[in-house]
Structure 1
């Protein structure tokens, strides 16, 4: 209220019947918070509302407190006070989602994509045009890389692997092959490490410069990926981290990207410690929460300006 004085609201009293404010943790908060008196008696609270002609009563409560909400509404049904419910859904959702209209009924998204309306249209158009321009301009470079990959070691030019896309729909991601052909144990994917013997000389250069990612513009053109978004991980890694890192699977509520907010902030390459994955996911969720089309443009510009080379890419 104090940060928005132009709205005309002024705090009068705070009701804390259940003793949420612990006086042992903050002795000064037992009677007042920043000069606002704290009331813990329900009858006294109703009396204050009527005596001081309080016009607004805001119930900032968890949605499980239905009885407390109903109690206030019924006891003040004949009083001209605006009672507003501000639901606390933080325990159920990752973000403070806005209210949406669902068939004429107000609803709060507890777990849904934060980017679903017409705002995403410029992103879709940009993705297709940028991918088409990139593939056209870089086709000679990609042809040279393809020849180098083929000559470096036996095997296909492209590395293909199943990844999760938007809403968990699987697709096959394309990369230039950077490793020698080898077999992995069933259900296990070994991440590339520094001086990994599986990586070819050509592959090491491609990975260090991120040129191995160029074929993913094909995925963007096909609508499976976006230019900017959370990086998709191997399915085996999804199975590992989905229960270890809060919000991990929420990243798949939007299309995965070739580059992203996490990548330009240093989270590229191997995630050999859970702290690295937590840091990456935190930045991915920040991007989703604060997404705008111009944030995408900023990330693309920073990716080009900083270059694709990273100390963690190997």
Structure 2
């Protein structure tokens, strides 16, 4: 099992609040340690695997969540939109139900039109009535049972890219080429621990030592990636791969949310010439920018993050940053022609 087998998206909360599932994810030294996934049965043709069938599943996501976002990027790039339906959760968590959850308040009547439920937790309880962890996204729901059958976001993109290949659109790119599998998996592990989850380790740390260790981890790796992307257009050469999807979802949220909300404020993304050009290159590619909800991201990280702390301080939604700069020319195609 990969070390990345951990779940999103979480709320930081007061460590003294022992009734919250999140409090269980703070180590004694103040480090943030995620809960593990529970529904990890793979997709495949082998006995015991989840069957690969058109219109059998519904993918539930919240556009604010990076782990869920990368599933939707891959789903769109590969042309699985007509094969796997999509349910979308509100970026603002419900505040009046006494627990961490996600709600379908973007839909008419506050009910998912297909699954006919109001909260994500209902689908987790359908799968396991004793489920006591946080209901998390992404979650794959079997439409025949209305149960969560997969929430292993680490491996989900691999399944979409390999096991669901017979449903890929014509001329879909190979995001997980066999000849680069080892290299992609190794880099993905680094990206997760030091970038994707690294910003959360800094933002949710409850000791100065844990925060500073995570802070250094993030920026040391960003410096390394800046150098790598000075020599090639994408992380593994001249074509987009699964690794690029995984890095993009954090970069897209960096200046908009993490820089201020998580105190990873040594540099902004736009202060890294190569990373910034690379991020704009991806944003302007179909599947990336048109699945990126900056407004929802800001609402979640600045208005919804501390609801369990019952802070008296009013929550303010930042007006910036200027998002139009994501559409400015990046010239990386010419640079690495």
Do they fold alike, i.e. is TM over 0.5? no
Q: Which has the higher strand share?
A: 1
Name the larger-Rg structure. 1
Give me the TM-score of the superposition, normalised by structure 2. Answer: 0.24
Structure of greater relative contact order (alpha carbons < 8 Å, 6+ residues apart): 2
